[in-house]
Amino acid sequence: MIATFAACGGTLAAFALARWLSARLGHPPWASPVLVGAIIVAGVLALMGVPVARYGAAALPLRWLLGPALVALALIIDANRAALRREAVPVLVAVGGGMAVGVGSAIGLARLLGLAPLLSDAVAVKTLSTPFGVAIMGATGGPVALAAAIAVLTGVIGALLVPPMFHRLRITGVAGRALGLGTAAHIVGTDWLTRRDSRAGGLSALAMALAGTIAALLLPALLRWLA
């Protein structure tokens, strides 16, 4: 019990510190609280000599909370139901296509590089927000922790590279940029965009939730088929 309180409390404290640091820096993508918080926790574990497996077992209640967080994403879809009714087909094609390209390219490159099957599965969910990636890995028996880490890094890289790419490609439409960023950079990109444009952030969150939902329905069966 003491270990659980220490692990959960320490993780929440690290996240709070990371949020404070991100705010002080102006919320740049590379200072994502999730990434910085993870680095802080990893550093503390290394200094104290605590095995990652032991920490993971003690912090299990926090992983359980990903389930309610995943269900709560339905609120994002509900909040954008008017946009979905108006432009359901373009939105679903854009998000579904982006998700398919992200997952397909990840699996293809993993196979081409000869990565181990478990590592290939973790890379396959890199373009999904962490709750979806963790849920899919839990259903398929994949490496949950590794998938979560890769997803966070993908979000940071996407938030850094996708906006300049839109500029270079002269993609100026708010909806197109928001849907693209939410699909490619999920929660990190959505958080960055929401702090600059709340309406665009809502569309980005919608893309993130839709991409995860589509993947959660299709990806477990695909990974089992490819195994």
pLDDT digits (tens, 9 = 90+) for 142-157: 788 788 888 888 888 8
pLDDT digits (tens, 9 = 90+) for 132-145: 888 888 778 878 87
- Any idea where the domains of the chain sit in the sequence? 1-63, 65-226
Residue 106 phi, psi dihedral angles, 5° rounding: -65, -45
Listed in sequence order, the residues at least 6 apart from 51 whose beta carbon sits closer than 8 Å to its beta carbon are 45
CA pair distance 145, 52, nearest whole angstrom: 10
Buried b (16+ CB within 10 A) or exposed e, 33-71: bbbbbbebbeeebeeeebeeeebeebbeeeeeebeeebe
CA pair distance 63, 56, nearest whole angstrom: 9
Statement: the pTM of the whole predicted model exceeds 0.85 = no
Neighbours of 74 (CB within 10 A): 11
